[in-house]
């Protein structure tokens, strides 16, 4: 089956129940497959039925492709996700008939700025959390052995970008509702370790930034911020003349959340 060369080379083929999706550099096409076709087998009136036919290649709406990054494609029960690096877009194919730009959901400027000049891109899907994880990797110099990575997560349930993550996998896969990634050739099972934010033996810490948009032209000053949740950070009390704050929970330093 010949496709128009103006779409670029075929980078990825995905077979579904009754059709095949072809991801080219500059276009995504849908071709009917496994459909019965009738034809005259020997030139006589005998008619033969076969399903070994690839139907017409129909371009899916949207001037998007997968460029030369088929490794960004992740397939879920609901959609297919991938990145078009040249156009600065992260895309989703839902239902097989339309392409939606999910990078426009609050992250348009980020991907426009950061998808350029990347050394590597990798898309994986976390079936347990219903998240598409897109890893952006950059090598500052050619001799840099391991690239600098950042992973951004899109959640199918909330239909939005929910988190930046510290781990940068070499590959990843979901199997039997478990999420596995690979680092330096070793496999790592996520959501299984008792120590949070520990990936590949490295310890990381969570943080989030609050943005106050009300009356943006006015300068704000906050006297206090209250926190309710798990263990807050406690700094050990130190003084020269002895303890004078009438508190006893700060005799020992504790790690935890802090502002």
pLDDT digits (tens, 9 = 90+) for 21-68: 999 999 999 988 876 666 565 655 555 556 677 888 889 988 899 999
The helix or strand, by DSSP H or E, that contains position 109, with its residue range, turns out to be helix 108-114
Among 120-124, 186-190, 245-249, which stretch is predicted with the lowest mean pLDDT? 245-249
What does pTM read for this prediction?
0.77
Please give the pLDDT value at position 3: 87
In this structure, the strands spanning 198-199 and 19-24 are unpaired
Measured over the CA atoms of residue 165, residue 81, residue 111 and residue 145, the dihedral's sign is: positive
Give the chain's largest Cα–Cα span: 109
């Amino acid at each position: 089956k010949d496709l128009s060369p103006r779409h670029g080379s075929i980078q990825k083929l995905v077979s579904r129940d009754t059709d095949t999706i072809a991801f080219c550099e500059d276009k995504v096409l849908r071709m009917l497959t496994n459909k019965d076709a009738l034809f005259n087998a020997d030139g006589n009136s005998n008619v033969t039925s076969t399903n070994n036919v690839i139907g017409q290649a129909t371009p899916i709406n949207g001037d998007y492709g997968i460029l030369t990054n088929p490794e960004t494609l992740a397939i879920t029960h609901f959609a297919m996700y991938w990145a078009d690096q040249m156009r600065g877009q992260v895309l989703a194919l839902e239902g097989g008939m339309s392409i939606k730009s999910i990078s426009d959901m609050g992250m348009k400027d980020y991907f426009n700025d950061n998808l350029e000049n990347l050394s590597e891109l990798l898309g994986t899907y976390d079936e347990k959390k219903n998240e598409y994880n897109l890893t952006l990797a950059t090598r500052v110099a050619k001799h840099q052995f391991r690239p600098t990575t950042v992973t951004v997560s899109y959640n199918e349930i909330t239909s939005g970008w929910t988190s930046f993550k510290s781990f940068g996998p070499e590959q990843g896969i979901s199997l039997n509702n478990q999420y596995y990634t690979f680092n330096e050739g070793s496999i790592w099972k996520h959501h299984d370790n008792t120590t949070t934010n520990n990936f590949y033996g490295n310890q990381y810490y969570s943080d989030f930034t609050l943005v106050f948009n009300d009356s943006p032209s006015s300068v704000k000053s906050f006297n206090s911020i209250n926190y309710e949740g798990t263990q807050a950070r406690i700094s050990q009390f130190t003084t020269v003349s002895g303890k004078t704050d009438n508190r006893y929970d700060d005799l020992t330093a504790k790690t935890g959340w802090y502002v």
